[in-house]
Structure formats: structure tokens, C-alpha cells
Amino acid sequence: DIRVTQSPSSLSASVGDRVTITCRSSQIINSYLNWYQQHPGKAPKLLIYAASNLQSGVPSRFSGSGSGTDFTLTISGLQPEDFATYYCQQSYHSPTFGQGTRLEIE
């Protein structure tokens, strides 16, 4: 299986901050990397697909970049509703998820 390693595992930030979450795959996955947001008790929500494509309806403060093995999710100008857990997921081969990054209010 392709391993996906996310960092950091947790992150504290304030409203208005810019934060970056990284994801590294154990082998080259081209751009088959997706990002999800999950609030407690809710289903995950797709934010970014194919590394850098914003899903319809997702605010433009979310952006993704990278290809190959290294990827980033950036949130510019944190809003209160952005405090959640974020997961990356590779879809190059049998899907695997990163372990998650919990974004908390500082």
C-alpha cells in the first residue's frame, strides 16, 4: 500500500492566520492527491482534488499544491468554521488517507 504521511498532527492558529498542512506519499502519485475537511460528528467534505483543484462551492481561501510525492494544503485567512480536522488521501492506487491534522483555535 502507498503510505501517506501528514504533518503536523495538530496545529493551533488564530482567526485570520495563514496555515499550511503537508502530505508526503511513500511513492510517486503524480497529482492523485485530495484533501478533505471533517468537523466532529460529520462526514468528510471534499476541499481539493487532483492536488490543486478547488471543489465547487469551497471558499477560495483554500488552496492546494504539489505533485509527485509532496503536497500542501494552505488556508489563507482562517475563519471560525475552518477549525476542524483535515485529511489528505491518495487516489493513485487503492486509496489511503493521511492520519489527519487537527486545526484548533489558539
Q: Does 49 bind another protein (CB under 8 A)?
A: yes
For residues 35 and 71, what is the distance between their CA atoms, to the nearest angstrom? 10
Please list, in sequence order, all residues whose beta carbon lies within 8 angstroms of the beta carbon of residue 91, skipping any fewer than 6 positions away: 32, 33, 34
Beta carbon nearer to another protein, 55 or 63? 55
Q: Does 102 bind another protein (CB under 8 A)?
A: no
Out of 13, 46, 54, 58, point to the residue binding another protein (CB under 8 A).
46
**Could you tell me which stretch among 20-28, 49-57, 58-66, 73-81 binds another protein (CB under 8 A)?**
49-57
